[in-house]
Structure 1
Amino acid sequence: MMKYLWKVLLVSWVMSISTMARAAESDVNVTDPYVMVETVANNTFARFHQDIDTIKRDPDHLKVIVSQELMPYIDYKYASYKVMGTYLRQSTPEQRERFSEAFKNYLIATYAQAFTEYTNQAVEFAPAKSFAQEKMVDVNVQIIEQGRPPIKLQFRVRRLKDDTWKAFDLVAEGVSLLSSKGAEISNLIRQNGIDSVIEELENHISSHISLESQGTKR
């Protein structure tokens, strides 16, 4: 279940303009969470198609796309601290920094692999709501795939101190990926210690992207 939900996360980002015209790459308005999510999706989708030949020659190029198109708009440090939970205060500043960096690179590798599941599914965005007084908002979308029930998603986005916004979590069918990953990480830290978990995340980073799923196509 967890593996499937993590796949849904990145697939949702890259599919998010498949029901709309394929817009040209554009600047990202990070002061509007709804516009930001759609624009990041547009840019990622365009980059994916632009680099498809490179991806087929070198699947690890997907990590480059994720790093450049997605990660600038994901608050990975906030997410990593949430995942650490109660163990955050028990860690040293150096451990927190190592964990945060390892978690960022873990997300890059995980999202890049999930990218290979893209098979031209459709996405419907719910109308934007007023967010002037909000510190966090949910950007609601539905993934539409023929022959399957729609998948309901909520991108959780938070306002930063400079009034810009970044995404930090995805709720898929009522299940928070951040909470789920937090429970998994907390259990591993309790059993093996934080340094061991950091090493495990770092080992995952070194794995190569596989196109065996055959989802990656024009």
Structure 2
Amino acid sequence: MKNVKVVSLFFALGMFLFSGASSAQTPDATTPPDALIKMVVTDVMASVKADPEIQKGSIPKIVDLVEKKIVPYTDMRRTTEMAMGPNWKKASAEQQAQLTTEFKNLLIRTYSGALSQLRDQTVQFKALRAAPDDNEVVVKTVVLGRGDPVPLDYRLEKTDKGWKVYDMNIMGVWLIEAYRNQFTNQISQNGIEGLVKFLQDRNKQLASAKPAN
């Protein structure tokens, strides 16, 4: 159970580290990927630690933070597309939009409770190894706390609106890979609409659950 809690904590930490809080320096379309991650990590670490409501597991506060701050720096559509694999093209435009929204909500609600455990962690930023013309990069960081150091990597793509995070690697597990088999199994059993319903039902279940403190 301890390992499950650790993974949950750092999936949550990963989600919110690239969410971005208000600061004098705000990433824009020209911000390099490593600078973007460092900028928002520093801000969000301070913001989460300073907000007692988030530390108590307030879902409305966490959802509000993510909706306002995570969207500009991520590409949830691509995250969802890659998690679905070839099945993505079998979904209608409406289903693709539904799946993207429901998957985003699932990630928020699944890992938000672990934010209450965020206390003394700090982040070490690794030097970026990428060519100037690369359109996809991996920004490597290490989360330091009371236990063993935890590698936390971000995979970003270059878009006309700047760099966007679309996948994360925590302790050797890529987020997209962690959900791909589950999505494939749901689709094979119940079709695309079955996956939509599965995500909707799971989100309703998580929304009605009381935060564990």
TM interval, shorter chain, is 0.7 to 0.9
Contact 2:17 2:41 (C-alpha < 8 Å) held by counterparts: yes
Residue 166 of structure 1: how far off its partner (Å) = 0.4
TM-score by length of 2: 0.81
Instruction: State the Cα RMSD in Å.
Output: 2.8
CA offset digits 1:40-88 (Å, max 9, x no partner)? 2233234324542476494431111122222321110001111111111
What are the residue-to-residue correspondences of 1:38-117 with 2, within 5 Å? 38-53=38-53, 56=56, 58-117=58-117
Tell me the percent identity: 22
Partner amino acid for 1:203? D
Please name the residue that 2:10 is paired with.
8
Q: Label 1:30 to 1:114 Cα distance change in 2 as closer, same or farther (>3 A).
A: farther
Q: Label 1:132 to 1:54 Cα distance change in 2 as closer, same or farther (>3 A).
A: closer
| Separation (CA, whole Å) in 2 of partners of 1:57 and 1:175 | 25
The DSSP-based 3-state class of the residue aligned with 1:88 is helix
| Separation (CA, whole Å) in 1 of partners of 2:170 and 2:53 | 31
Please name the residue that 2:36 is paired with.
36
TM-score by length of 1: 0.79
In structure 2, runs of 5+ residues without a counterpart are none
Residue 14 of structure 1: how far off its partner (Å) = 4.8
Which structure shows the higher helix fraction? 2
Q: Label 1:111 to 1:166 Cα distance change in 2 as closer, same or farther (>3 A).
A: farther
The DSSP-based 3-state class of the residue aligned with 2:89 is coil
The DSSP-based 3-state class of the residue aligned with 1:127 is coil
Contact 1:159 1:165 (C-alpha < 8 Å) held by counterparts: yes
| Separation (CA, whole Å) in 2 of partners of 1:54 and 1:11 | 12
Contact 1:13 1:41 (C-alpha < 8 Å) held by counterparts: no
Number of residues of Structure 1 aligned to a counterpart in Structure 2: 205
Residue 203 of structure 1: how far off its partner (Å) = 2.8
Q: Label 1:170 to 1:156 Cα distance change in 2 as closer, same or farther (>3 A).
A: same
1:201 to 192, 199, 205: 199
Residue 202 of structure 1: how far off its partner (Å) = 2.0
Q: Label 1:54 to 1:178 Cα distance change in 2 as closer, same or farther (>3 A).
A: closer
CA offset digits 1:149-168 (Å, max 9, x no partner)? 211221111111x1611001
Contact 1:137 1:158 (C-alpha < 8 Å) held by counterparts: yes
Higher alpha-carbon deviation: 92-101 or 40-49: 40-49
